[in-house]
Chain A
């Protein structure tokens, strides 16, 4: 199943909304969307995941790659709106210590 992805950029903050199941089949689609924002060197990328019902390690790897590329130009990538099972993947892999995780987009935008 492919993902539903929308993005908007306003005041140097990009909000990338992803919905669906992020796995080895669909994660390249998420990666392309993140890479597009990285190319534009957007200072802050908020990846909104409330519509993501499942994420595997390829999804997590995509986010790590995005974060590292953003950091190269002093930008950042944060995540928001994680469902419990997706948060569990972050905790299991201890990436909750690496990523800034916000409860929703509004909070993620404010906490720059």
Chain B
């Protein structure tokens, strides 16, 4: 059976700490250990930061919806915004041997999560789907 939690927040950076606390609990319920939980929180935080920074260009008060689905074998997060659609061709992580500030968010998200996919064909906004398998001994 799938357990679902929906978090609605506005695109205001001070709210990210609230989101992280909620995602931490979701991970705990799904059965992840502390280290995996920390990494998942980081990935979701990076994705939300990207929405604020890129989709909404830093504008506060805009909608971010996070649907968390705890499934028997995986934890799934669906992030939806109503901002500027991302140019999927431009989304890539930078090489790590390039030492410079910035550009690490996408690398972190794709490193931590098992599956990361932007929904195609959105008329407006973005939908990002991320999945992480639940460790077998926790199922």
Contact = CB atoms under 8 A, between A and B. Distances in A.
Contacts of B49: 23-24, 56-58
A92 B38 CA distance: 12
Interface string B58-77: 00000000000000000000
Given A92-B112, A94-B96, A24 B13 contact: yes
A8 interface: no
B101 interface: yes
B104 A1 contact: no
A33 interface: no
Contacts of B38: 84-85, 88
Contact of B99 (A1, A64, A92): A64
Contact of A60 (B45, B104, B112): B104
B104 A57 contact: yes
A13 B53 CA distance: 35
Interface residues of B, number: 27
Contacts, number: 65
B52 interface: yes
A50 to B, nearest CB: 16
A73 interface: no
Contacts of B99: 64, 68, 98
A65 interface: yes
Contacts of B100: 64, 68
Which 9 residue pairs are nearest across A and B when measured between Cβ atoms?
A25-B13, A61-B101, A85-B38, A57-B104, A65-B101, A24-B49, A64-B101, A94-B96, A57-B105
Interface of B: 13-14, 16-17, 20, 34-35, 38-39, 41-42, 45-46, 49, 52-53, 96, 99-102, 104-105, 107-108, 111-112
